[in-house]
Every structure is written in C-alpha cells, then in structure tokens.
Amino acid sequence: MGAGTLGDGAEHYLLQVLEDGLWLTVNACGEGQRPDVDTVMAAVRRLGYKDVKGAAVAEVVRLAEGTPVKLSDPIAVPEPEIQVVVSRDRLEAFLQICVPKGARAVLIDEVLEAVKAAGVVFGVDSDAILKAVESLRAKVVIARGRPPVDGLDASIRYLVDIEAKGHPKELEDGRVDYRSLNLFMDVREGDVLAQKIPATAGEPGCDVLGQVLLPKKGKEVALPMGKNTRLEEDKLIAAQNGHLLLVNGKLSVVSVLEIKKDVDLSTGNIDYSGNVVIGGSVQQGFCVKAGGNVEVRGAVCGGTVEARNITVCHGVQGMNSGVLTAVENVHARFIENAVVQAGGDVVVNDAILHSRICAGGKISVEGRRGVVTGGHLMAGAEIVLHTAGTQLAPSTLLEVGVDPAVKEEYRRLREEQQRLAQVLDQAQKALTILKAVEPSRLPPDKREMILRLTKTQFQLAGQSEANRKRILEIESLFEDMRTGRVRVNDAVYPGVKIIIGNLVRPVREVTKHAAFHVENGEIKMGPYA
C-alpha cells in the first residue's frame, strides 16, 4: 500500500510505504524550496515508523536528487479492520470498523472500496459512512433497501344488510314494533347482492445488493354464489325474486319462503314477494303478506293474510279480527267469525259461520257438512252449499249476481254523497249569511271568505254530480246483474235471505234441495241441479 504527503507551498516530497520498507523521495529544487525536515519527520511518525533518524531524513532533503531513498525496513504496523455485513433479508448493510492500537488511520477511499466489494449498491447513505469513519462506531447502518409492498387480499363487500335480520323495526316515534322482526330479506331479480374488491399485485422492492424483491400478490376470494344467483364481472346478482339465505357462506335466493312454525312474536309479521308456506298457524294480531300464494298448514287464528291465492288447511278462526284477502282464490276447511275477500272463488269444505265472505266468482261450501250459518256471503256468479241456516234461524244473507267490489264502491259513493251534501249545505248557508251584509261594510277577510266559499261550493257540486252519475250507472248495472244463482243441496232454514241483484227473498219455511234464480223480475225457487 502507498501513502503520500504533499508539503505546503513549494515543498515537494513523497513518502512511500512499500513491501520492502519506507522510501522518501525529494524532488530537485532550489535553495529555500526544500521541504522542512520536521514536517517530513511528522509524516513519518504518523505512518508508524518510530526508528527513522532525523539525520537520515535531513540528508535526503539536502541532496534533493528526486531519487527514492530507503529510510527503514518494513515494520509490523496493525491494519484497521473494515467489514461490511449484509443482513439476512438483504434490506440493511452495516459497516464495522475496528482500529487496533497503533494502527494507521482509516481512509475514506478504502471504506468505499469495501462497500463496493460487498456488492452494496442500493440505498447507500454516504453521510452515515463519513460519520462512521469519523466516530469509529462499532456498527453503523450505511444502506437500507426498499421492502416490497405485498398486495391486498380480495374482499367481499355485501350490498345487502344481512346483519339487520332479526332486529325489530323502529317506528318514527322511537317505539319498536316487535311484530316486524325482519327475519327474511326480500330481494328482486337484478338486485346486486355482493361485490368483490379485487386483489392487488403489490409494489416491488429492492435490496441493498440491487436485486428486485417481488411482492406477494393478494389472495383471491370467490363471490359467495349460491342458488338462483349469477355473476356479472365482479358482482353477484339475484337471478329471481325471492328471499335471501346465507348458508355455509353462500348467498342463495329462494322463491318459496317456508316458516316451519307459527307466525307469532318469534317470527313477527311476514311480508314477502314470492310464495309463503306456514308450517304452523297465523296467530291473532299478526300479518302475512305475499306477492305469490300463501299456504297455512295450521289455522288462521285472528290473523291477517294477503296473497294471490290462500290455502288454510285447518281453517280460519277469525275471532272477529281475522281477515283474508286474495287476488284470486281462497281455500279453507272452515271459516268462523272472519272477513274473507277474493277476486275469484272461495271454496270451503265444512262450514262458514258468522262471517262476511265476498267472492268475485263463486262461493262453494260442499263438504260433508257444508253448512253456512249467520253472516253475509256475496258472490258475483254463484253460491253452492249443502245447508243454509239452522233451526235457530240466525240471520244469514246469501247474495249473488253482484260484484262485491262494485257493491263496495256503491256503498262508499252513497256515504260520500251524504257527506258532500252536508258540507255543501253548510257552505251555502254561510254564503247566504255573508251575502246578506252590504258588500261595502264587509271587512277584507270576510270578502275573501266569500270567494273561498263560492269556489268550494262549485267544487263540491261538481264532485257530487260525478258521484251521482256513477251511482246511477251502478244501479243500472245492478238491474242487469240478475244471472246469479244460489243452490242448496240439502236444506234452507228460515232466517236466510236470498239476494240476487237488487231483489230479496226471505226464506220462511224449511226448503229442501232448492235452487234460486231470477225469472220475470222476481226470485224463483226450483229444484237443485
């Protein structure tokens, strides 16, 4: 290894540490330009050569021949130890400098050479290297790599609030409706149920040796695709109307909602777009609404059912609060103290007791008993039953030949006409009183009241006239709707009234195997057929 010291100004000399010893070269120069002997000796001492005599150095300086002169044989001067250590993950490099006693000074160039030899090329901190050389600290981090950023795993974002199931509905006033438990989540075809947030690739890193560190790609996850769902890109879509089920981590849409027990406080009310099967009964005060059909395998015990078609296997115990409303047909074993409305037919096996039944088509009670006692039955086409009334003669109305919906409209219009007549009469009386006063003596608010009352009077009169015309149309329709029939296979008891259109015939004695129809403007009785 060679080491040199350049004197100040015009002083020129070169000290070289070679394998065979220490050599001094002084360039030829004029008098007064030779290097100072003490300066050269100080440099010799710094290089660790303590046995060199000043006289020998002075002689070389005096001659200044520009020729190397050996001053000393080699000496055993301890070398500083420079070590660069790379961490196992290659994300850090450490510099360790050990300077034994008596060793020469550490040169920055040889430290940089050691760093290069270790292959450390990325993230090198030059300031840290300088500070390490100056302070000679035992271990210093001189380079840091950039770790890779692993990709994020794919995730599923649910667009339906599955957690809301089973929580009672909160009303606007803050109270909680424990009859609405939201146990079943109704969805429509095309609804987005869940969306996948794709996994990311991550960002590569680099170690201190300059090698690229590849990131781990995020793990993929499958959308929870169950029955009656479909995939569109990264979305899970409902393939049909129904209710949502989460089973074994899979989302499925089921078109038939099956309740295996009673509809009561444990289930709350049911409101569903498809078909509903109730394994138990519908208890009093609870409601089942369905866009499809409802089958109740137990009974309806004072509850409410609304659907397209309704089947009640064990009958309807209305308890004076039960209501069944069907767009099409109703089938039941029996109906007692209930209200039933059907756009089509009502078919009962055993009995209808003290109930109000309205059917746009036919009412049939033809089972082994086939009894209708009390209440009011209305059918658009026909009523067929086994027995009407009993020997106790309860009031029983059997009405056909009129659409129950039209008759209900007629009743509503008549009530509305009465209300309009009262309001119109009050408005006219108020106007009469106000107009009796000299206009110039009326205050502004009274004059404005006259204008409002006059406008109201015309509006009420117009609405009343429209109602009157519709009432006349319905009454004319009643005259034409006399094609319905009432057929009784066994017996009709006194207390029963047969109504066909606007004609009424009370039954005054027990009649067997009879059929009632309109002939020549009156209700006639003929044989059951």
Give the start-to-end residue ranges of the domains of the chain.
13-72, 81-144, 155-254, 255-343, 406-480
Tell whether the model's pLDDT for residue 293 goes beyond 50: yes
Tell whether the model's pLDDT for residue 8 goes beyond 60: no
Tell whether the model's pLDDT for residue 165 goes beyond 80: no
Beta carbons within 8 Å of 472's beta carbon, 6+ residues apart? none
The residue to which tokens 């008098």 are assigned: 31
Three-state DSSP class for 504?
strand
Interval 477-484 mean pLDDT: 65
Looking at per-residue pLDDT, the higher value among 220 and 366 belongs to 220
Strands 21-26 and 13-18: antiparallel
Dist CA 344 CA 341 (whole Å): 9
* DSSP per-residue string spanning 241-279: SEEEEEETTEEEEESEEEE-S-BSTTT--EEESSEEEES
Dist CA 347 CA 131 (whole Å): 100
Instruction: Determine contact, residues 148/204, Cβ cutoff 8 Å.
Output: yes
Q: State the DSSP H helix or E strand holding residue 280, giving kind and residue range, or none if neither.
A: none
Looking at per-residue pLDDT, the higher value among 409 and 345 belongs to 345
Tell whether the model's pLDDT for residue 136 goes beyond 80: no
Burial annotation 194-233 (CB, 10 A radius, 16+ → b, else e): bebeebeebeebbbbeeeebebeebeeeebbbbebbeeee
The pLDDT score that the predictor gives to residue 164 is 57
**In the chain, % of residues over pLDDT 70:** 91
**Distance, first Cα to last Cα, the chain:** 133
Beta carbons within 8 Å of 391's beta carbon, 6+ residues apart? 493
Dist CA 328 CA 182 (whole Å): 27
Q: State the DSSP H helix or E strand holding residue 343, giving kind and residue range, or none if neither.
A: none
The pLDDT score that the predictor gives to residue 207 is 95
Dist CA 299 CA 322 (whole Å): 11
Show the tokens assigned to 214.
């590849």
Looking at per-residue pLDDT, the higher value among 287 and 34 belongs to 287
Beta carbons within 8 Å of 486's beta carbon, 6+ residues apart? 382, 383, 398, 400, 498, 500, 515, 516
Dist CA 373 CA 77 (whole Å): 128
The residue to which tokens 């509903």 are assigned: 276
Dist CA 501 CA 517 (whole Å): 10
Task: For the beta carbon of residue 62, count every other beta carbon within 10 angstroms.
Answer: 11
Dist CA 14 CA 23 (whole Å): 8
Closest CA to 183 of 261, 265, 268, 277: 268
Tell whether the model's pLDDT for residue 268 goes beyond 90: no
Closest CA to 160 of 258, 245, 255: 245
Looking at per-residue pLDDT, the higher value among 398 and 65 belongs to 398
Give the 3-state DSSP-derived string for 90-138, with helices as H, strands as E and coil as C.
CCEEEEEEECCCCCCCCCHHHHHHHHHHCCCCCCECHHHHHHHHHHCCC
pLDDT band at residue 380 under the 50/70/90 scheme:
confident
> Picking from 23-32, 53-62, 419-428, 517-526, which range would have the lowest pLDDT averaged per residue?
23-32
Instruction: Give rounded-to-5 percent helix, strand, coil for the chain.
Output: 20, 40, 40
Looking at per-residue pLDDT, the higher value among 111 and 405 belongs to 111
